[in-house]
Chains A and B, each alone.
Chain A
Amino acid sequence: MTWQKFIFDFFTYGILIYSFLLLFFYIFIGVYSTGEIRKYLRRNSFTDYRILAASEHLPGISILAPAYNETANIIENVRSMLSIHYNTLELIIINDGSKDDSLQKLITAYDLYKTNIFINEQIATKKIKGIYKSNNPVFHKLIVVDKENGGKADALNVGVNIAQYGYIVCVDVDCVLEQDALLKMIKPFLEETKVRVIASGGVIRIANDCKIENGKLIKVNLPKKFLPRVQTLEYIRAFLLGRMAWSRLNGLLLISGAFGAFDKEIVIKCGGYNNKTVGEDMELIVRMRRYMEENKLPYRVTFIPDPLCWTEAPGNYKILGRQRNRWTRGTIETLKMHKKMFFNPKYGLLGMVSYPYWFFFEFLAPIIEFIGISVFTILAFSGYIQWGSFFILLGCILLFGFLYSVFAILIEVLTYNQYKAKKEVFKLIVAAFFEPFLFHPFVVWSAIKGNIDYLRNKHTWGEMTRQGLNSKKTPVNVLQPVVIEAEPKKAAGFLPLRLVQAVKEAAAYSIILLASMLIIKVYELIRNAQQFGVPKDFAKVIRFGILNDIAFTLNIAIIPAGIFILLFLLNKKFSRFFFIIFSLLLIIIHAALAEYFLETLVPLGAELLRYSSADIKQTVGAAGISITFILSTVLMLALIISLFIILPKKMKFNIRLAFTMFILFITAAIFSIGSITNSWKPGKEFSNNISLNKSYYFYNSCYRYLLGSKKKDIPANSPVALATRNLSSAESTGFNYIDEEHYPFLHTVDTGLNVLSPFFNKQETPPNIVFIVVEGLGRAFSNKDAYLGSFTPFLDSLSGKSLYWRNFLSAGGRTFAMLPSVFGSLPFGKNGFLELGDQMPAHLSLLNILKDNGYSSNFFYGGDASFDNMNKFLKKNGTNIFDEKTYSANYVRMPLSNSGFSWGFGDEEVLRRYNEASPKMIPPTCNVVLTLSTHSPFLINNQATYLQLFEQRMQALNFTEAQKEEHRHYKDQYASILYADNAIRNFMNGYTARADFSNTIFVITGDHRMPEIPMSTKIDRYHVPLIIYSPLLKRSEIFGSVSSHLDITPSLLSLFKHQYNLKVPAIATWMGDGLDTAHAFRNIHSYPLMQTKNEVSDYLMGNYMLNNEDMFKISDNMNLDPAADDVEKGKLKAAFARFMEKNNKFINTNSLMPDSLLIK
């Protein structure tokens, strides 16, 4: 799984789950609220408020109405409030330092006089300048307070201090209250017998375009303008559904500042309104609830669905934006002030449901919506998701919103049905339809701006100009534009403390993780330089290396950081423990991968998954684990653990930086920054591999391996699939397939294709064949034109007397592919043919065909033949095995590595074993020798001599000092090659004396190119020599054409068939179509190459090679140049896909041919 995919899934499913949760809550709220409304309506139908209005038994209520620059409507508004039906009432108008003549107007209109009232300042407020009462007994309920400007909260606190009654009702002075509003509001306080009702909220309705006379609502009309109309709908939805549901749950967190009733005693005990927030209404409720919870006092906050209070909604986007901006800031501030309650079970429903709901679905909703829409749009534009899917999802969400609005309208119609005029309901539905397009995006944007303003420490109310409800178009400012002097505070402090701390610590830990990665990179680079010298492009290697490591850490950090944050909310210690363990694992794996690379010069990929534990043990053992390595690893781990324990406490992270980092992690993961930087390479293959982040390579390779089969599924209508369909198998490979459906590789064999006969003299008896497959023998360091210089002087000379293919390829990047390719030209299956083990299907091979023709076959190996299941293959082919178990005591094993490991016997000993065993064999024989001295750890007996020979060889090759120095980094490798070459020399020299020499064909090749000496191209790994030497040869030849291991068996069998009339099947499963004996460079073959056991990613056809998505043009000496020919690429892809299709069929059927065709 690529990180890109992981994060993409994480993001899309994250958003999806969030959306589902949100929708679930909405549905729940919708359903749950209807029950509460129905219950309320039934309960309320028994009360006659008209009779109660004059009751002297009702408790007193103080109405608090702060006013700022209200001169336009203050007289009417006060008169309206004085006329409210309630017996024991006082109306306290708090003039919050108005700059207009509001106070003077009141004094004149209501005949006020200044009086002295002692105020017990239980809540600290700004200074009161004067208190006024009326001389007229008609207005005895009226008190006007003149005070210094201090904001709405401060004004309300003054009102609380002055209020003489036990219940206070806070209203916006410009609101129009229904006549029985107070009776309805006080009822819940008096009805409850079991718990204390501490506050009660009322529905706010939109009064725009309603008919209002003398401060009384005469007729309800639906607003004519779109904005107020859509707000009408919004208010219906919020009040009728949302707040009723929360009220039923007793989880209501907000009572609108425009109209709410409170138990004064609790308000005072809580310290009154908070003047440090612009969301004082919500903050007070949260604080009151918190107070009750902390003191374990049973309580309720109720809500009245009756339309009791009518207010003017903003009529233009500018004012609406300011309002929503302020609401957002108010929410953030309140949540921040009470972050202690976040998922705190001590606060019951309040802490576990209400607060988290507000946090996730009120505060975060616009942010997530904004990010979600933006990212989905980007993803759609960048092709990660289809536009169709994008619009379906979007449509789904929009439709749900519309549906929810229509449901709210239905509830309104069923209950209060305020909009009775013709078509008003229809107009509301139309507004609901347009809301997501014309209103909602603006609200979301305003909320985002609110967040930004909050972060910028902006605390103004924002001026709200209103048109006025009494048909007077005088703009008035009704909300105090007071700038609150904010305490210096940290950015994003609105978040619950624990979350903030979690993000900070996650950032700190991530930095240490990155530092650890870089430490390993430095270690890797130093070791590299020590072992192999400083590459010419070292600066580039460092640059790209560091870049890759940073990219990988950024790419992966979201996983530990994300989980850490979640765990941190539950248990701090455990989360820290998790991060450290996770990071250590990551670092240890990373270090091990780096070490593996240093030993093998090949980054480890998913092949690890295919090796058995014994194979791994053998390979790792071979590489050797030195004391230095163990010590340096322990020291490094100790250093890293110390960093993790000590540093986070000392790292003081700015919260903005921490959050920025967290967002960076998410972004890096979404865009899989690792894969982006991974494609930036210094140039040369080896340098590329040094700078590569080994962990990224490993995980990416594992992901591709594990999900590889899915990845290979090609959409039916894709160009490649179409090309594949059009391209017949025969066209891509030249074979005539017989039954592709059941036996995808079974084809007829062109018996006329006999390219080797012209080069061989015919003997009477079939010749012996000796295969010498040299471990790691690459063309890079063998024979003329070897770009590293030739270190195989004997083979060089031998090739001059042989048929020599200089552009020859192995079919695999490792030994696992050698036997099936060379001797069976077999397909790979899933993980190489040998990996099928006991399940290997019956097949044809050079070995079993020759056996059927009277040959005996024998395999000579210095190690354990069970490695890579070689023994199983050989046994299946009737081959005798002479591996390390058959060696007597007088054979000398190769020196042990630091870890005490040795692959077995060196090449000289293997060939000695051959010489010992082969004379006893009855001809004709087909013997195979697989050497292994040229394998890591490159330890050979008499190494000093060969090191000296290595120096001499360099001298002979006229190397410059620089070249020598560079080669000396790989002196062990070169010494082992010289050793192998010498062993073959001795072997061949010895063989000439044998009687069977004259009738023997020697086939010498490498199993793959040794990767421990840096490679130059992608194909270098496969570039090996092929030498066919025999006294039977008519002449020597050098071929420039390309062939591979897969072509050896078909050609040899063809030779034997024609020259010795051996029984050779006319139908076979050869992947190769025979050696090409063209002198000039060309490639007439078409086949895949398998570098590691997990993936076939290379395909060769014509003069091109496809490596994953990259195509290269092959030129003489197997040089590769990037090619961008789409037509050719399409052909290669199609042929590759065709092969994969056949290979998958083979994987599924595990059958190559019908038993009847097998030669018994």
Chain B
Amino acid sequence: MPGFLLTFFLTVDYYFFLNVIYVFLVLLFLLSIFISVFTIYKRRVERNKKLWQQSVAPVISEAIFYNDEEEERVDLLYISYKIEMLLKNSRFRQYIINELIQVKKTLSGSSNLNLNRLFEILDLDKDSFRKLNNMKWHIKAKGIQELGIMGQIKYAKEIFWLTNNAKEHVRNEAQSALVSFYGFSGLRFLDLTEYPISQWQQIQLLNKLHHVKPANFDALQKWLQSPNESVVIFSLKLATFYNCYDVYTNVIKCLQIASLQVKLNALEYLKKMPQEDTSEQIIHHYSFENKAYKLAVIHALKDIGSEKQIPFLLKKLHAKDDDIKAAAAKSLSYLHPLGNAFLQTHLFADEYPWQAIFLQITNERAA
């Protein structure tokens, strides 16, 4: 290869560069043409969208404002000939899907159902469903998202099998769609999901579950023992979010799992739903843990601890790490019978960093 390169450079002459210039000029010309054509195309699409909007907006408005009693009449909505003609255009169909999704995101209640129905009347669900068979992940995911948002529960079975798809965004959208369809019950994909559920996806799912009332927490116990760590973490978040007392024992067991994230989420749960032995349980493995866990334990003791943990906290007041000191001091100010005043009686109350720490706590408690 070096020999080849050397030969190339030694034999190359300036006419070669002249040819390179010609190639560059041709490329430049093509790029400029492409930019111009694309700009024109984009403008035309925008213009078309504006025109389509004029036709679509009345139909969507009409669908939104039908009330519950007249639900069945949505089927009788007047679809103009113009729209019927436009519906033959696949771009228009995608446009109207996007419009419906945009509107759907801002609405709730019966209007929502009307829009779902309109989606079906216009056979747009079939468009979205077709995307599920597309080989490209982003199109597949888009189809799932459309079906999920537009409440097309009839495709739930097909979507369910995609919750364990190798493509992250396909399974994410499938999981979200199921939760949209069935709420907490939609989480049954946690039984079989093999892939990690990212924190981002967990947040998305939790957001979707925000207003959903849970029916049955039995599955949580199983999920808390899942070999998939992200399922355990997510289950702990669910248990915390839904104040689920039944899984306390399972959560305590989670403290023995090596993953820091599992333990921190378990602590969050225990902080929210403590039992008598919780404080002792959480400080049981304290010395072997890292700083983040230690801080979380001491912070948790502030809320769930009792005078029994004061010796432990006093010891931590002299830990090497100033953050631990500060956390211990704060928890002590809550747990000690003397409260805040205890800090002033401490032997090192006038020494750095205790002085600064105590001053901050005093200020915070006073505020």
User: Which residues of chain A have a CB within 8 Å of any CB of chain B?
Assistant: 13, 16-17, 42-43, 45-48, 50-52, 55, 57-59, 115-121, 187, 189-194, 265, 388-389, 392-393, 395-396, 399-400, 402-403, 406-407, 409-410, 413-414, 417, 425, 429
Given contacts A13-B9, A48-B105, A410-B31, whether A190 and B200 have CB atoms under 8 Å apart is yes
- Is B57 among interface residues, defined by CB-CB distance under 8 A? no
Chain B nearest CB from A55 CB (Å) reads 5
A192–B207 alpha-carbon span in the complex (Å): 19
- The interface residues of chain A lying within 8 Å CB-to-CB of B196 are 193-194
Distance in angstroms from A349 CB to nearest chain B CB is 22
Asked if B138 lies at the interface with its beta carbon under 8 angstroms from chain A, I say: yes
Do A392 and B18 form a contact, CB below 8 Å, given A48-B105, A406-B35?
yes
Bound-state Cα–Cα, A399 to B23, Å: 10
Chain A residues within an 8 Å CB radius of B34: 410
Q: Are B203 and A396 in contact (CB under 8 A)?
A: no
A-B contacts, CB under 8 A, total: 117
Nearest A residue to B203, CB-CB: A57
Within 8 A of A (CB), among B166-205: 169, 172-173, 196-204
Q: Is B112 an interface residue (CB 8 A)?
A: no
A88 to chain B, nearest CB (A): 12
Q: 5 extra interchain contacts, Cβ-Cβ under 8 A, other than A118-B326, A403-B31?
A: A17-B5, A52-B203, A55-B203, A58-B203, A118-B322
Decide yes or no: A46 and B39 within 8 Å by CB, A399-B21, A403-B24 being known contacts.
Answer: no
Q: Considering the complex, give the chain A residue whose CB is closest to the CB of B329.
A: A118
Pick the 5 closest A-B CB pairs, nearest first: A190-B199, A190-B200, A193-B196, A118-B360, A42-B138
Contact partners of B322 in chain A: CB under 8 A: 118, 120-121
Enumerate chain A residues within 8 angstroms of B158, measured Cβ to Cβ.
none
B142 within 8 A of A: yes
**Roughly how many angstroms separate A388 CA and B5 CA in the complex, as a whole number?**
25
Question: Residues 4-19 of chain B: 1 if any A CB is under 8 Å from the residue's CB, otherwise 0?
Answer: 0100011000100110
User: Nearest A residue to B362 by beta-carbon distance?
Assistant: A116
What residues on A are CB-neighbors of B204 within 8 Å?
47, 52
A42–B172 Cα distance when bound, in Å, is: 14
A-side binding surface: helix, strand, loop or mixed?
helix
**B17:A396 contact, CB within 8 angstroms:** yes
Query: Which residues from B are CB-within-8-Å of A116?
Result: 356, 359-360, 362-363
Q: Which residues of B contact A402 (CB under 8 A)?
A: 28
Contact call B356/A118, Cβ cutoff below 8 A: yes
Proximity string of chain B (95-121) to chain A, C-beta cutoff 8 Å, 1 when within and 0 when not: 000000000010000000000000000
Which one of B17, B172, B202 contacts A57 once the chains associate, using CB atoms below 8 Å?
B202
User: In the complex the two chains form, is B169's CB within 8 Å of A410's CB?
Assistant: no
Chain B residues numbered 248-306 whose CB sits less than 8 Å from any CB in chain A = 292
Known: A52-B207, A118-B353, A191-B198. A389 touches B14 (CB 8 A): yes
Residue numbers in B under 8 Å from A190 (CB-CB): 198-200, 203
B237: chain A residues at CB < 8 Å are: 57
User: By the criterion CB–CB under 8 Å, are B38 and A392 in contact?
Assistant: no
Q: A57-B206, A193-B198, A406-B32 are in contact. Are A425 and B39 (CB under 8 A)?
A: yes
B 316-341 contacts with A by CB, 8 A: 321-323, 326
CB-CB under 8 A from B141, the residues of chain A are 46
Q: Are A393 and B207 in contact, with the CB atoms below 8 A? A: no
Contacts of B31 in A (CB 8 A): 403, 406-407, 410
CA distance A48 to B35 in the complex (A): 30
Name 12 A/B residue pairs within 8 A (Cβ), A-sorted.
A42-B169, A46-B169, A48-B105, A51-B105, A57-B203, A118-B357, A118-B359, A120-B322, A193-B197, A399-B21, A399-B24, A410-B35
Q: What CA separation (Å) do A57 and B265 show in the bound complex?
A: 12
Q: Given contacts A392-B18, A399-B21, are A413 and B138 in contact (CB under 8 A)? A: no
Q: Which residues of B sit under 8 angstroms from A194, Cβ to Cβ?
A: 196
Given the complex of chains A and B, what is the CA–CA distance between A393 and B34 in angstroms? 27
Cα-based distance from A265 to B360 in the complex (angstroms): 23
Question: Please, how many angstroms separate the alpha-carbon atoms of A50 and B172 in the complex?
Answer: 18
Of all chain B residues, which has the CB nearest A58?
Answer: B203
Contact assessment for B230 and A392 in the assembled complex, using a CB-CB cutoff below 8 Å: no
Q: How far is the CB of B89 from chain A (nearest CB, A)?
A: 21
Report B-chain residues with C-beta under 8 Å of the C-beta of A192. Answer: 198
**Nearest opposing residue in chain B for A23, CB measure:** B20
* CA–CA, A400 and B22, complex, Å: 11
Tell whether, in the assembled complex, residue A17 and residue B363 are in contact, meaning their CB atoms are under 8 Å apart: no
In the bound complex, CA of A121 to CA of B325 (Å): 13
Q: Are A191 and B20 in contact (CB under 8 A)?
A: no
* CB of A131, distance to nearest CB on chain B (Å): 10
B38 touches A413 (CB 8 A): yes
* CB neighbors of A among B31-77 (8 A): 31-32, 34-35, 38-39, 42
In the assembly, what is the distance between CA of A406 and CA of B36, in Å? 12
Nearest-neighbour CB distance to chain A for B318, whole angstroms, equals 15
Given contacts A51-B105, A117-B360, contact A414 B21 (CB under 8 A): no
